[in-house]
Structure 1
Amino acid sequence: MLVLLSGCEKKVGGQVVAVVNGEEITQQQLNAELNGAQLQPGADKKAIMAQLLQRVVDRTLLVQQAKADGLDQSPAYLEQARRQQESLLVNMLAGKMAKNISLPDNSAVSNFIAGNPTMFAGRKRYMLDQIVFPQPTDMTVIKDLQPAHSLEAIAQILTAKGIQFQRGNGQVDSGMLPPDVASRIAALPAGEPFLIPDNGRLVASVIKSAEAVATPEDQAKPAALNVLRQQALAEAMRKQVAKSRSTAKIEYQPGFAPPAGVKPGAPAAGAAPKA
């Protein structure tokens, strides 16, 4: 038995750059850490690798302690691990599909630039007065906000409903918004508020001032090309979902099926407030 155990002892060498309590750290793991690091030109790669290795060693020790405490078997960990694995697989599928997407020609790129001025020639940066509040679960609140034509009116409605909010300033670049949303914002009367969802919150904004930040010509074509590729990938993913749904067997517990008339995968009602 002693002979067998000694034969299983893990040692450094070859692709194994360190062993922590019997757990190997490989050159491949270290290279992955290096790929995620931002290196300055002329940096000592060997010295940085040594520093990164110590970071991996420290993380390995913490992971070993977490496992010793049984955290890797907790429901919270298992659920988060499942979600991260699913996200990784979806991202890898998107990367695979992106390789098969053909690049748009110069004509398509030029037409896209001309047809989306809020992203290019007419791009603007807006300085905003804002009210931020949690996304309400009762969507009638959104309907009640529709007639409001000022931030003060929105504040009064939220106060009357007992919804807490914060006032502040912000800015938004029209080039970072979906073109239809940017066009609707640009067409608003002076002082008219608009609502944009933001990670579980709603942001009501009024434009205080605007400045032109037109995209330089040498940057416009690469930016347009990237957007067109992203749109093509999104459409390819949508088609893949539709194809998979057409052959999949999906069963719902009562009360969880999509409402009648609602296309699966479409945004829920009230998910796109006025802009």
Structure 2
Amino acid sequence: MLTLHTEKIILTALIISILEACSSENKAKAPGQVAAIVNGEEISIYQLEDALHQSGLISDEKGKQAIPQLLTRLINQSLIMQQAKVDKLEREPGVMMAMEIAKKQILTEEWLQRKMKSITKPSAQEVEDFYNTHPELFEKRKVFQLKELFIDNSAASSLKIDQIIGNTEDLNTLEQNLDANKIPFNVNMATLAAEQLPMGRLPLLSALPNGHFIKMTSEKGVLIQGVLSAKESPIEKTKAASFIEAFLYNQVRKKETEVVVKQLHDAAKIEYLGEFAKLTQAEGKENQESPPAEIKQP
């Protein structure tokens, strides 16, 4: 596996070898660390190196083939940038705001990336354990054909809705009972693989017989999710390994990020002004989905 330092050496060598293959006239105009000059502005081999790295083309052959195209792209970008400056686009309020947002995003991601350097990839045993403890995602993975009913809280009293749902065994009967009680609802059809469903909901849906459902409630209303059919589509352990590794790494990274951000919040002085004065950090959090009701069995 190539290290970042080794990749940089390979990329630089590739770029230099391509540039040295140019004519002597071009070599005279772009010596040393410069790949091209566009209306007096230089495009360095480091810019080309970064473009090559971003494209993911590290191997000798693919890298050599990609360099001319990438250099042309950088030249075109430089020409457009120069024209944008002539038109003074960077002074327009909307552009200035977009540039500031992009700057903040880049700095935020870079700072967090550096803080997360100590996080290591999960071990082979951790990957193995995750695979074995989640058969619904891999060995017994399913693709679900789902039918969803959403009942707005304004449609009827929550007590009446709960009574109808509680006394109904299957999805078709539930629709009939809602219609009979003149309770409106929206219908949505969806085909989702196991990994596209929330982890907490997946075991419940996996255990459902066809035609049966689970219920979830929120501040806006009630969501009924019923299984019309479920087709097994397992994933082999070797194919799942990279997915599991990335998932476990991101889970650890997410937790570490939350810890770091909380530390920053605790150390900071934050004031909410005007109409935002009543806001609290708790109110800023996303509403969590309530636990699903028990499975309706035949």
Q: TM-score, normalising length from structure 1?
A: 0.68
Change (3 A) 1:49 1:231: same
C-alpha distance in 2 between matches for 1:252 and 1:94: 25
Which of 69, 73, 88 is equivalent to 1:55? 73
C-alpha distance in 1 between matches for 2:226 and 2:75: 50
Return the structure number with greater helix share: 2
C-alpha distance in 2 between matches for 1:157 and 1:256: 35
Aligned pairs, number: 241
Q: Map 1:194-273 to 2 at 5 A.
A: 207-257=227-277, 259=279, 263=282, 266-267=285-286, 269=287, 272=289
Q: Map 1:80-95 to 2 at 5 A.
A: 80-95=98-113
Structure-1 residue corresponding to 2:296: none
Identity of aligned residues (%): 25
Change (3 A) 1:219 1:265: farther
Structure-2 residue corresponding to 1:173: 193
Letter in 1 for 2:285: A
Change (3 A) 1:84 1:187: farther
Q: Residue 94 of structure 1 contacts residue 233 of structure 1 at CA under 8 Å; is this kept in 2? A: no
C-alpha distance in 1 between matches for 2:63 and 2:132: 45
Q: Residue 131 of structure 2 contacts residue 237 of structure 2 at CA under 8 Å; is this kept in 1? A: no
Deviation of the 1:46 alpha carbon: 3.7
Deviation of the 1:56 alpha carbon: 1.1
C-alpha distance in 2 between matches for 1:21 and 1:257: 52
Deviation of the 1:141 alpha carbon: 6.6
Deviation of the 1:54 alpha carbon: 1.3
Q: Residue 272 of structure 2 contacts residue 279 of structure 2 at CA under 8 Å; is this kept in 1? A: no
Structure 2: stretches of 5+ with no match in the other structure:
1-28, 166-170, 217-222, 293-298
C-alpha distance in 2 between matches for 1:143 and 1:274: 21
Deviation of the 1:81 alpha carbon: 1.9
Structure 1: stretches of 5+ with no match in the other structure:
1-10, 134-138, 160-164, 196-202
Which of 71, 86, 89 is equivalent to 1:68? 86
Which of 42, 49, 67 is equivalent to 1:31? 49
Which of 82, 97, 101 is equivalent to 2:119? 101
| Structure whose alpha-carbon radius of gyration is higher | 2
Q: Residue 12 of structure 1 contacts residue 19 of structure 1 at CA under 8 Å; is this kept in 2? A: yes
Q: Does 1:185 align with 2:211?
A: no
For the aligned residues, what is the CA RMSD? 4.0
Structure-1 residue corresponding to 2:19: none
Structure-2 residue corresponding to 1:7: none
Deviation of the 1:231 alpha carbon: 0.9
Change (3 A) 1:227 1:79: same
C-alpha distance in 2 between matches for 1:49 and 1:214: 41
Q: TM-score, normalising length from structure 2?
A: 0.64
C-alpha distance in 1 between matches for 2:74 and 2:268: 42
Deviation of the 1:30 alpha carbon: 1.0
Q: Does 1:127 align with 2:145?
A: yes
